[in-house]
Amino acid sequence: MKNSFVFTIVILLLLVVSGCAAPKQEIEILGNVKTVGNNISVNGTSTLEGGSEIKVELEKLGTNTILNENAVKVDEDGNYSLNFSRENREEDQKLVVSFHPEEQPEEIQKIYGANGENISENSPGLFQYSIDGDEYTGVQMFDFIFRVVKGETGQRTFLNEYFDNPNETINGEE
């Protein structure tokens, strides 16, 4: 009788603890990218909660040197929009659009976890990273920003889960 009582208490505690765990949230960040001259426009939708912050970085290819960094808040419908200028339009560049849980307001961290522990592993663009020994899970999407030379109009492309550099060779061939 005593064993069944202890067993019942243990089961009840496990049910309470498992019921308190926040459910995993799948994050999807979609976006259209448009360039005209030095101007870059990123407009998209996401499954992020309103008030979440998305980081948009423009990087120099091959170096990960950040040339331009911006942040944009997601509205209540999950939409976001950002326009910015780049200094050197004669260079190909890498665009990174990302969600970092540690940079979010407290109410957003309650949903996704302070370290991203509540982000679903099914989220497109899921990545792991560490800062000062702490492990995090975030989401990042990419686009290749083509150089624009005189007489060209720019580009209209979409964010991708993986960065594809069309200038890189495949198996040593061009």
The pLDDT score that the predictor gives to residue 152 is 80
User: Is 3 a domain residue?
Assistant: no
| Owning domain of residue 33 | 29-158
User: Is 143 a domain residue?
Assistant: yes
- pLDDT per position as a tens digit, 130-165: 999 999 999 999 999 999 888 788 899 999 999 988
| Domains of the chain: total | 1
User: Is 56 a domain residue?
Assistant: yes
Give long-range contacts, CB 8 A cutoff, 24+ apart: 161-165.
161/124, 161/125, 163/94, 165/61, 165/92, 165/94
What is the arithmetic mean of pLDDT over 11-29? 68
Cβ 141 vs Cβ 161: under 8 Å: yes
User: Is 171 a domain residue?
Assistant: no
User: Is 49 a domain residue?
Assistant: yes
User: Is 144 a domain residue?
Assistant: yes
User: Is 172 a domain residue?
Assistant: no
- pLDDT per position as a tens digit, 56-80: 999 999 888 999 999 999 999 999 9
The pLDDT score that the predictor gives to residue 61 is 92
User: Is 37 a domain residue?
Assistant: yes
Mean predicted lDDT score pLDDT of the chain = 88
**Domain of 37: which CATH number?**
2.60.40.10
The pLDDT score that the predictor gives to residue 170 is 52
End-to-end CA distance of the chain: 76
Does the global pTM surpass 0.75? yes
